[in-house]
Amino acid sequence: MKTAVAELAVLGGPPAFAEPLHVGRPNVGDREAILTGIGEALDERWLSNNGSKLEAFERRLSERLGGMHVVATCNATLGLQIAMRALGIQGEVVLPALTFVATAHAVAWEGLTPVFADVEPETLCLGATEAETRIGPETGALLGVHLWGRSGDVEGLSALARERGLPLLFDAAHTLGCERDGRPLAAFGDAAVLSFHATKIANSFEGGAIVTGDRELAERAATMRNFGFVDEDEIVGLGTNAKLSEAGAAMGLASLEAMDGFLAASRRNYAAYGEALAGIPGLTLLPFDPPESSNCHYVVVDVDADAGLDRDQLRAVLVAENVLARRYFYPGCHRVPPYDRRPQLPLPVTEHVLARCLSLPTGTAVTPADAAAVGDLIRLALYQPDAVCGALGE
């Protein structure tokens, strides 16, 4: 063991990290490329509405996604809303409660009713078995979530959707750089929505993208993104404003150019965490589908009762050390307003995950040495649970 027990901050030592390590610190591509791109938009005096940066961003993203149609949006939440509208979804939408609240809010904001299903214990994603239990006469669509970039049961959900004649949409916010059987994860379903929010593996400051193999669906979505305009003064229906700015698109483009470096950094950190956390009783680093087909952008540990400290105690120790671990996506969509006021069916796997999982810092702002040091801290804290609990006042 590298560090002495007395060095834990909760036991009176200084914090292990002088500067905080954050979860979701933005990955930033080549600064020159970003500033040049924004400068070109200024020179062109074209700041939004299908400028050269947006076109280039959509083209590059489409290439990355094997030629899928891509409609970039100002964020993924509006991307999800537009995708649901363009698919003509009505009534209830079956989705997992184990997701960021945006997934449920997008459904509800469209006047649809979110119906929460449990996730599969193996994949932590919505599976066909769980989804089927929530399908009723009012069901209008299935909305899967590729939690932490995991593919889940895409085949089962696709078969179920086909059998029941329901559209299948995926919240693919976490999936850029993830593949399933050599195919980009965002290519599954009738449509999928990526996020380019600052905390995601690649960002456009704020941003999102609707991804689909259906050209007409993409055209409807692109029209809805711009107030329903199809021409200079022709409006064909209800639309909103969900356009991505040229500055955002320039940032997104630079992020796509830098993706190899972002992927390498997160995969290296994931491997370093794996080594540092190996063999700790009660602590499991969540495995990915083959790591080489995952972006490894979320490093999540499951803290079992046997670990000595519970998840929240471990988090308190890490925060004292300036390791700002997060409880993604606690407390779960079903436990926050307005959804908590509705009767809910039990979600045992979801509750289990929400009570035990902790996301650790990674990304290009974190080095493998940092990850190894965080692993050592976790080992140290769990090695002295009584002392730590005393210091935490428990």
Ligand X SMILES: *Cc1c(COP(=O)(O)O)cnc(C)c1O
Interacting residues toward ligand X by CB under 6 A: 75-77, 99-100, 102-103, 145, 171, 173-174, 195, 197, 208
d(CA 368, CA 362): 9
Decide whether 61 or 377 has the Cβ nearer to ligand X. 61
Beta bridge partners of 211: 70, 192
Tell me the DSSP string of 166-180. --EEEE-TT-TT-EE
Q: Report the residue count for the chain.
A: 394
Q: Which residues contact 234 (CB under 8 A, 6 or more apart)?
A: none
Residues 250 and 53: beta-carbon distance below 8 Å: yes
* Cis bond upstream, residue 331 (ω within 30): yes
Q: Evaluate whether 97 touches 116 at the Cβ level (below 8 Å).
A: yes
- Minimum CB separation of residue 74 from ligand X in Å reads 8
Closest to ligand X by CB, 192 vs 277, is 192
Phi, psi of 32 (to 5 degrees): -60, -45
> Smallest distance, Å, CB 22 to ligand X?
15
- What is the C-alpha separation between 390 and 173, in angstroms, rounded? 40
Q: Select 199 or 322, whichever has its Cβ closest to ligand X.
A: 199
CB of 210 to ligand X, least distance (A): 12
Cβ(129)–Cβ(103) below 8 Å: no
Residue whose CB is less far from ligand X, 8 or 249 = 249
Residue closer to ligand X (CB basis): 147 or 272: 147
Amino acid at 277: L
- 273/328 with CB nearer ligand X: 328
Q: Which of 167, 169, 188 is nearest to 178 (CA)?
A: 188
**Residue placing its CB nearer to ligand X in the complex, 299 or 388:** 299
Phi-psi region of 15 (alpha: psi -120 to 50; beta: other; left: phi over 0): beta
Query: At its nearest, how many Å lie between ligand X and the CB of residue 185?
Result: 13
C-beta of 208: minimal distance to ligand X in Å? 5
Smallest separation, CB 175 to ligand X (Å): 10
Minimum distance from residue 18 beta carbon to ligand X (Å)? 29
Strand order in the sheet with 69-73: 69-73, 208-212, 191-195, 168-171, 139-145, 92-96, 113-117
CB 35 to ligand X: min, Å: 23
Measured from the CB atom, the residue of 209 and 316 that comes closer to ligand X is 209
- Cα separation, 370 vs 376, in Å, equals 10
For the bound state, the minimum distance from the C-beta of residue 212 to ligand X, rounded and expressed in Å, comes to 17
Least gap, CB of 247 to ligand X (angstroms):
16
Please name the amino acid found at residue 328: Y
Minimum CB distance to ligand X smaller for 224 or for 283: 224
Which residues partner with 234 through β-bridges? 231
Given the complex with ligand X, which of 207 and 308 has the nearer CB atom? 207
Residue 101 φ/ψ, nearest 5 degrees: -60, -20
Q: At what angle do helices 101-109 and 76-86 cross, to 10 degrees?
A: 40
